[in-house]
Structure 1
Amino acid sequence: MELIADILLVAGALGAGFYCFVLARRLTRFNDLESGVGGAVAVLSAQVDDLVRTLGAAQQAAGASSGSLEALTTRAEEVARRLELLVASMHDLPAEDATHRPPPERRPAPGPDRDTGPETPVFARRTR
């Protein structure tokens, strides 16, 4: 009986040793830097560094754009104020009526007894 118990005890110890050996190999493959989780962690770490750099560049670009947009907005507000003043000053001008227009210039009509001199050329525009 003791012999059978010793044999079972040795077999259990060998089985546990083999199981530990298999687990150790799996763990080394799991932590391998090229193909395992270690590699994935290394790749993710590199990507995080790239994202941090890209985010910093994007923040700088956004700051510059914000500054230029603020300057343009201020300039547009100033121009709008000037335009409002111009429009307000246009309301102060008297309205032009037909009665206030100066009479058109009258030229004497050429007649047979008047010497008109050389003929003046007439320029006309054509519309298409």
Structure 2
Amino acid sequence: MDLIADILLVAGALGAGLYCFILARRLTRFNDLESGVGGAVAVLSAQVDDLTRTLAAAQKTAGASATSLTQLTARAEEVAKRLELMVASMHDLPPNQATSETSEPSAGPVFSRRSQNGFGR
């Protein structure tokens, strides 16, 4: 009886050893850096680092753009106020007499003759 128990114990130990060997080979293939999940994790980790750096640069650029846009908007509002004041002051000016005379159409073309010597009549 002890002999059968020892044979079964050795067979169980050999089976467990074979099972551990197979699991170890699968785990090394699973964690392989070139074709397994380990490679995918390494690639994803590198991409996350790149995206983090890109995001930081984009946030910095957006902050600078927002500051510049705020300054430009303030300048534009100041200029708009001055233009409104100028347009409002233009309504107070009297109409220009020279402008109204030249805007009327003339009676016809004006021709003058020159004499042979070039001094007029």
In structure 2, the partner of 1:88 is 88
Write the letter of the residue equivalent to 1:61: T
1:120 alignment partner in structure 2:
112
Match for 1:33: what amino acid?
A: L
1:76-123 deviation per Cα after TM superposition (whole angstroms, max 9, x unaligned): 1011111221233234446x6xxxx79x7xxxxxxxxxxxxxx438xx
Percent of aligned pairs sharing the same letter? 79
Which residue identity is paired with 1:58?
A: A
Pairwise mapping of residues 31-46 of structure 1 onto structure 2 (< 5 A)? 31-46=31-46
Provide, for residues 26-67 of structure 1, a one-character-per-residue CA deviation record: whole Å limited to 9, x for no partner. 111122211222211211111112112211221222123212
Aligned to 1:73: 73
Normalising by structure 2, what TM-score? 0.69
Q: Which runs of 5+ in 1 are unaligned?
A: 105-118, 122-128
- Match of residue 56 from structure 1: 56
- After superposition, the CA RMSD in angstroms is 2.6
Report which of the two has the higher share of helix. 2
